[in-house]
Structure 1
Amino acid sequence: MSATITVVGLGSGDPDRLTLGSLKRLQEAGERYVRTKDHPVVDWLEQTGVSFVSFDEVYEAKDDFPSVYEEIVARLLSRAEAGGDGENIVYAVPGHPQVAEATVKRLRERCPERGIGLDIIGGESFLDEAFVRLGFDPIEGFLLLDASEVSGAAIDPRRHTLIGQVYDQLTASEVKLGLMELLPDDYLVVVGHALGVAGQERIERVPLFELDRIDGYGNLSVVYVPASEDETLRIRSFQRLHEIVSILRSPGGCPWDREQTHESIRKNLIEETYEVLETIDDDDPDHMREELGDLLLQIMLHSQMEEETGAFSVYDVIQELNEKLIYRHPHVFGNLSAEDAEAALNNWEAMKAEEKKRKGIEPERQSAISGVPRDLPALMKAYKLQKKAAKAGFDWENINGVWSKLEEEIRELREAVAQKQDPESQELELGDVLFSVVNAARYIGADPEQALSRTIRKFTSRFHYVEDRLREQGKTPGDSTLAEMDVLWDEAKSKERE
């Protein structure tokens, strides 16, 4: 049998707060360990004759805290296994053993696995002193974070937030940057050093931007972010966006928003998507930020409509997306590997096929060209259909076949026009030409939608140049000859090459 490990909480720092029961256990123990001697209660105990073996040298030997904690736990477990039945090893930790104490968490996980008894005796945590000294009631809404976990996503300004493990100015700087993702630079925060410890306590209120400019950080330091009802502080949060859209669609919200349906705003989704694409083409980040917001609004509105019927909410949308991203990237979140983009794409397609099987869809019984959205723009749809057909083996052996087919379709279009066939027949022949051009684009590795978009932008730029030059001459395209405009057109082309 192994010895038992008894974990004792040393409290927040004031020896007067150490319970009588804990003191007796410490005094009676034959073998005592302490995670760190950097604690006021340890100094007091050693003055009374209660000595400890500390793990402070582990902090100096290891490069990071997780490694420190692993080493401490390994030593305690090894010592317990070497002990005999009935032997008790006392391990003392600052504060309460169950509050922000990583070594105790690991002991709780591993002692049962190795048949080692574990007894935990609580103590006053730094939270008890924080509630008293900083003057807030946790029932109003309270969040406790480790300094390494602070980010805009983790913070809710409506809750009191206490941040522990702020050991030094570097850690304080990381906390500051995390808080600044959501809060303004001048938001008042409170730094508490050695709360409740007579002669050592220091409480400072500073604007957030000065958080890492003050001295005195150590093992007994915490940062307190007071709660606020100011809704502008939540303006960067997704939860606030969800609330706003919900309010707009509510009985007391906007009459126009309440009347909309999936069908009535269907076109908006398409229009906003194209406006985003325009900002990408223009390499305009500021405008892109705005247009991405407009596109997100459409997604929020459609999700809100379904939430009102009880079908799903936007959080269900997010959950399904997160699950899909994790599942389809086994080379990132799983055990597979992908050395390049092609391998990653193959993993994606394999997991996508597996998803279909789970849903009862048999990919082998589906058409090779299925899965292309019905309402895609025709040029884009033709490109995707051809790629799928080519993947199934329905493709030219080389680009010569593409040229021959394109020449054939152009000839048939010319004949249809020359023979003055009906408009529908001529339109069909034109469609065949465009479809063949898309095949050529695919063979040279070009996206036909992007290629045509670039040509349209080039045409627009040149035509605007022609208009501007004519305007300088007091003319418009309507009262100019084609020859005059051709000269200016060639001039625009020359300037592009400069």
Structure 2
Amino acid sequence: MDKLITVVGLGPGDPGMLPLQVWELLNGGLPVYLRTEVHPTVDWLKQKGVKFSSMDHHYDHATTFEEVYSNIAQEILEVAEQTPVVYGVPGHPMVAEDSVRRVLELAAARGIPTRVIPAMSFIDALSATLGIDPCKGLHIVDALRLDVQQPDPLVGTIVTQIYDRMTAGETKLSIMDHYPDEHMITVVRAAGVPKEERVQRIPLYELDRLDWIDHLTSLYIEPLTKGSEHQKFNQPEIQNTEGSFPLDPLIEVMVTLREENGCPWDREQTHKSLKPYLIEETYEVLEALEQGQMYKICEELGDLLLQIVFHAQIASENKQFNMNDVVQSITEKMIRRHPHVFGSTRVEDSQEVLVNWDKIKTQEQGAQANEQPYLSGVPRALPALLRAQKVQSKAARIGFDWPDYTGAVDKVKEELQEVLQEIGTGCTEALSEEVGDLLFAVVNLARLLKIEAEDALSLTTNKFIQRFYYIEQKASDAGKKLTELTLEQMDLWWEEAKILKKQEK
């Protein structure tokens, strides 16, 4: 018997949408393999007595979806070497089906003929459910590939493969880079499947709060309305040009707020009273930068700029300086400290730029600089990790540094041993000092590896929070409080969260 792989689609889930040609092939006596039996149409096929082999076992043993699809394709090809075979997948075989792509590629490489029998895809079912016409503009992205695929705010966007609430959470954070938090979206489960279809329109920020999300879930993002502020923000042609957005309007608002008939709260503020707000706004900018949300970064930078204007206005009222002096001062400083750009100085690399920067700074400070310790310029108010790395970097500029990271590795090992030795003494003060030495050594290792210690620790902290959130979700689904869980149960769900995150990469 000639070799042949026939790939068929099972439709979106309603057995009534199964093509007649596919039905005949499934009952034609050839071996039938299904990528998964977790699909509404498959339940009906079982009732009708269709014999098949499921590929679900591959999901239990592989660590990534790529590995799953590769293993499935290999098994289909092994069968096809012996006999013609039918391979069935949910929806349309050529829509969001990586396993089919793998099968077709391997079959072509081995000279095995293939044919594809189409069926209605989930896109067709979604279009009917939502009442949209794809020909008027529709963008489709994969929730598991949002690092390389992006939604298009100018047209409707469908996001596929939102398997669970964790994926929904990751998807929400990614698309918030392109839409306001409150932008309306439509979440659809089992589109086109009678008695199973579920549709809910919600604000974007509520996406991962839905407890019924599963492997049949997709979402539709409505296009931004013409003229909306966020659409303007995303339009490449509306780029800022020199002088287009002067500070004068913001300064005038601040002047009005501080006048006699202005805002009582704003009029009461001083440099000292505003310090907490300056710190808060700075951290909110850092958080937005860490999340990579351009919309939020723009907003938070504006809030931080307001604090700068606020302080400048208070100083102006006291006849000390104004916003023009602030801008002029930093402009002149940047020109002075970049003689390799605005002058004739030559530099070989960025390290030499930093050395020159310190020299010029010393010259600017004159005799006062000679009276100050070399490391005194690092602000004491910086977060401890950031301050440690700044101190180490400044010391390294004058040659006080390890030749490479291996010396720092040995230092970390040495400091860890000293911590372990101190643990048994019962002296908290000495132990605290040794732990501090260990942390300082780890920061130094990070610096030599070109890693920002503050960012690395923040990333790990966020990872911990996300995994713990998964435990909370699982506990909620099980009808339990966190305090009712055993350590063993929490560890089990913790490992599940790690595996799910790994599969998404």
Provide the TM-score with structure 2 as the length reference: 0.52
Contact kept, 8 Å, 1:168 with 1:217, in 2: the verdict is yes
- Give the secondary-structure state (helix, strand or coil) at the position aligned to 2:224: coil
Question: In 2 relative to 1, CA 446–179 (structure 1 residues): closer, same or farther, beyond 3 Å?
Answer: closer
Shift of residue 151 of structure 1? 5.6
Whether 1:219 and 2:215 are equivalent positions in the alignment is yes
Q: Can you list the C-alpha shifts for 1:97-147, whole angstroms capped at 9, x where unaligned? A: 000000111122121110111111000000001111012111222111111
Contact kept, 8 Å, 2:162 with 2:213, in 1: the verdict is yes
Q: Which amino acid aligns with 1:234?
A: Q
Q: 1:193 aligns with which of 177, 189, 194?
A: 189
Contact kept, 8 Å, 1:2 with 1:115, in 2: the verdict is no
Larger radius of gyration: 1
Distance 1:228 1:491 in 2: 56
Distance 1:153 1:201 in 2: 27
Question: In 2 relative to 1, CA 91–153 (structure 1 residues): closer, same or farther, beyond 3 Å?
Answer: closer
Whether 1:233 and 2:141 are equivalent positions in the alignment is no
- Corresponding residue for 2:31? 31
Distance 2:134 2:354 in 1: 60
Whether 1:100 and 2:96 are equivalent positions in the alignment is yes
Distance 1:170 1:448 in 2: 48
Distance 1:152 1:36 in 2: 27
Distance 1:375 1:68 in 2: 54
Shift of residue 448 of structure 1? 2.8
Shift of residue 492 of structure 1? 13
Contact kept, 8 Å, 1:32 with 1:92, in 2: the verdict is yes
Shift of residue 192 of structure 1? 0.4
Q: Can you list the C-alpha shifts for 1:275-329, whole angstroms capped at 9, x where unaligned? A: xxxxxxxxx8979989xx9xxxxxxxxxxxxxxxxxxxxxxxxxxxxxxxxxxxx
Q: 1:113 aligns with which of 88, 105, 109?
A: 109
Whether 1:452 and 2:360 are equivalent positions in the alignment is yes
Matches within 5 A, 1:47-446: 47-81=47-81, 83=82, 87-150=83-146, 154-230=150-226, 231-237=228-234, 240=235, 242-245=236-239, 376-378=341-343, 381-384=344-347
Shift of residue 155 of structure 1? 1.9
Matched pairs, number: 292
Distance 2:149 2:108 in 1: 35
- Corresponding residue for 1:473? none
Q: How many percent identity over aligned positions?
A: 33
Contact kept, 8 Å, 1:2 with 1:116, in 2: the verdict is no
- Give the secondary-structure state (helix, strand or coil) at the position aligned to 2:94: coil
4+ long deviations beyond 4 Å: 284-290, 489-493, 495-498
- Give the secondary-structure state (helix, strand or coil) at the position aligned to 1:229: coil
Q: Can you list the C-alpha shifts for 1:155-192, whole angstroms capped at 9, x where unaligned? A: 22111110111111111111111111121211111110
Shift of residue 152 of structure 1? 9.9
Question: In 2 relative to 1, CA 184–446 (structure 1 residues): closer, same or farther, beyond 3 Å?
Answer: closer
- Corresponding residue for 1:18? 18
Contact kept, 8 Å, 1:156 with 1:234, in 2: the verdict is no
Q: Can you list the C-alpha shifts for 1:57-83, whole angstroms capped at 9, x where unaligned? A: 1111111211110110010111112x1
Distance 1:121 1:106 in 2: 16
Distance 2:372 2:107 in 1: 82
Shift of residue 218 of structure 1? 2.1
Higher relative contact order (CA closer than 8 Å, sequence separation 6+): 2
**Where in structure 2 are there 5+ consecutive unaligned residues?**
245-281, 290-296, 302-337, 381-505
Contact kept, 8 Å, 2:92 with 2:118, in 1: the verdict is yes
- Give the secondary-structure state (helix, strand or coil) at the position aligned to 1:98: coil
Question: In 2 relative to 1, CA 205–68 (structure 1 residues): closer, same or farther, beyond 3 Å?
Answer: same
Distance 1:157 1:225 in 2: 8
Q: Which amino acid aligns with 1:166?
A: I
- Give the secondary-structure state (helix, strand or coil) at the position aligned to 1:28: coil
Question: In 2 relative to 1, CA 377–18 (structure 1 residues): closer, same or farther, beyond 3 Å?
Answer: same
Distance 1:163 1:496 in 2: 50
Shift of residue 449 of structure 1? 4.4
Q: Which amino acid aligns with 1:99?
A: V
Question: In 2 relative to 1, CA 112–244 (structure 1 residues): closer, same or farther, beyond 3 Å?
Answer: same
Question: In 2 relative to 1, CA 490–24 (structure 1 residues): closer, same or farther, beyond 3 Å?
Answer: closer
Distance 1:214 1:7 in 2: 34
**Where in structure 1 are there 5+ consecutive unaligned residues?**
255-283, 294-372, 389-440, 464-488
Distance 1:219 1:128 in 2: 17
Give the CA RMSD over aligned residues.
3.9
Distance 2:105 2:148 in 1: 31
Question: In 2 relative to 1, CA 152–177 (structure 1 residues): closer, same or farther, beyond 3 Å?
Answer: farther
